[in-house]
Structure 1
Amino acid sequence: MTLTKKMNDKEVPKQGMLQNVMKQFDAASELMNLNPNIKKILSVANNELIIHFPVRMDNGDVEIFKGYRVQHNNALGPYKGGLRFHPTIDIDAVKALAMWMTWKTSLAGLPYGGAKGGIQMDPLKYSTSELERITRRFAYALGDNIGPEHDIPAPDVNTNAQTMAWIADTYMSTKTPSERSKNQHVVTGKPVGSGGLEGRDRATGFGVFLTIKYWAEYKNIDLKDKTFIVQGFGNVGYWASHFLQEVGAKMVGVQDAFGTIVNPKGLEVESLLNHTLANDGSILGFPDSEAVDKDSFFELECDICIPAALGNQITEERARKIKAFLIAEGANGPTTVEAEVILKDRGIDIIPDILCNSGGVVGSYFEWLQNRNGELWGLDEIMIKLDKKIKEVFKKVYETSQLKNLDMRSTAYMIAIERIERAYIQRGIFP
């Protein structure tokens, strides 16, 4: 039975992602014969923080919020991971997301570990001034549990550059004047004028596009005139669609929190973005589109499916109905383990989340380096660096998967976990 929870009068799945990531981890551990002692370490998070904090609302009332920060592992470097504001956030979901971040940063070859966090709330119910106070109070409550060389948050679902600017300012205000300049990189994903990276907004979606592009090149498939559908038309979904349209692919279906629209002849990406900006973020009412039932989204005729919203969206039932020949996981954990078995049996390829959406954390690493070293990089240079890194990681995963006759998720997990295992073996375990 799927438990659900109300959000804006719509039913959304209650995330059970922890079971999913643990099944994936167990399967990869068995395949690679992971050292049992290291498996014990990686099976649990290093630290789990649950914070209750009060915030005064615009009407003078005080509301209590619940925030989370889970630091899964830092064997390879500081904890790194996003903050999301969403009603479905709970400790299990954050633990799962933190573990995925550990694998993602390791797979990308970055000097980071994995963390995740957020606040259990629906941000649409609060004014901008209330969101600022909620964010700043949460950052203050986290205190030195975050830090530029310890744990570096970033944007995630329902958070953005403005959110990061509030957190950075709050954190730096707790430091002495001489320390403030050394703490700007406490978060990444900041506005460009506040130490952010040029192009960070498109990094994750660009990475999704690049992994699709390189997959197509290995398969000798021309993306021109190929059709795709996108679940989630936020930062990731929009930019992935933008770059796919640039190479001639055609978006034929989109789903967001408001509904689902289709047009077999194509939906123009930039026009849809402008429509959402003028309609409180909603895709509904877009000209030359038809609104269809939300449950029909994964049944739409298409070549490529990009889930770029929340976890556990592709279930067993939906996996049997998917028409695409490729699923590119723009979201974290969008496919259940049981659904993946069905998709593999049907011959549908999956570019796993820890590879597909890693452009965001690679971009975050570039921003962190810029702040740390006092450098400034131009957009063209950044896009070239992103492309080079994603190409390098994709090549390693794809070619190893072919060599070992494994799916890409198993291969990506093994590569990521082997790097962490090697670090533990070389350094030993204290004491």
Structure 2
Amino acid sequence: MIDPKLLRTDPDRLRRAQQARGESVELVDDLIAADEARRAAVTSFETLRAGQKDLGKQVSRASGDEKQELLGRTKRLAAEVKEAEAAAAGADAAFTELMLTLPNPVFDDVPRGGEDDFTVVETIGSPRDFAAEGFTPRDHLELGQLLGAIDMERGAKVSGSRFYFLTGQGALLEFALINHAIRVATEWGFTPVIPPALVKPSAMEGTGFLGQAAQDVYHLPADDLYLVGTSEVALAAMHSAEILDADTLPRHYVGYSPCYRREAGSYGKDTRGIFRVHWFDKVEMFVYCDSADAEAEHQRLLEFEKTFISSLGLPFQVLEVAAGDLGLSAARKYDCYGWIPTQGRYREITSTSNCTEFQARRLNIRARYAEGVRPVSTLNGTLCAMTRTIIMILENHQQADGSVTVPEVLRPYLGTDVLRPV
């Protein structure tokens, strides 16, 4: 949610942001009208309420016929106050409902356009030339089957399409990645957290996942709980309705959780293997900070992601995402795309978003500063999404015999430098 003052002081900024996203500019005008109606209704109620209190004082001082006349006016005014109060509540609810649909204003220098209009910020590492090495690379599923690491058939038998088992070396590889991710994040000053994977509607709505993203979310109606698509949701809601001590900022958390996504709208896309699945595990970074520090914290999260991917020896690109491809909460987002040899292209492996004060306002998270209490800013960044990272390790580090060289940083956890066919 934005600061309502922006509607009154800088509506053109909101219009520019909506236009950049390819969203309705008219929504800003609708919100301005709703805000004016809300404020007018509140003023009317408060005026009548003040008159009611004044009349009450007059009644206490009156007597005889005058008192009876005043009591009659009191009864009529009470009905008007009740009606005005209901009108004010209705206008406020209408404004709030409309406000929840307004995305976070993007920064003015975010690339314009949609999904394909990203800007490549940098390319790190070079893809292997398998032809020069004399063999054609296998895709991750073939390698996973050779290694006894991935079982799609039994995943589908047990849970349906887009589910899988990681077995043997595949399971051990995920455990190694988790341990590596948590270790380095702890060294960087993050506090490890294992958050709940089921959350209340307020947590989903507060983080912006019940608007345009609602179709991709699993809901348990009997309990009115949601399965999270990222631990960002629980990590953000952890401090909801709290006032933090400014001296404790920035707060850095790193959460590990399963993630669930319906992948609505992806029918027929990436159906082979474990690239696009309904469940995967992920290590996620999350930051609460003073809004003045948010952009610097965003760059730090991006550097952490780059360091982690580089430690695995994976070629990748850093992209700045275009405004039309941002979620509801992000004002700016960077994605890291890792190289997949058998697809001959880079695919998303991590992302990091600066959500400014948008989520904090929706979740009522503030900090107490010397000059008073005000909202904090929140940021998130994927450190390791397990399935896609496993895909890229298998494909980029494969050998002609179907074995896979283990990245050096993972060898202490796996106890070997090579994953071999079974």
Q: Aligning the two structures, in what range does the TM-score lie when normalised by the shorter sequence?
A: under 0.3
Q: Looking at CA atoms only, which structure, 1 or 2, has the larger radius of gyration?
A: 2
TM-score, structure 2 as length reference: 0.24
Higher relative contact order (CA 8 A, sep 6+): 2
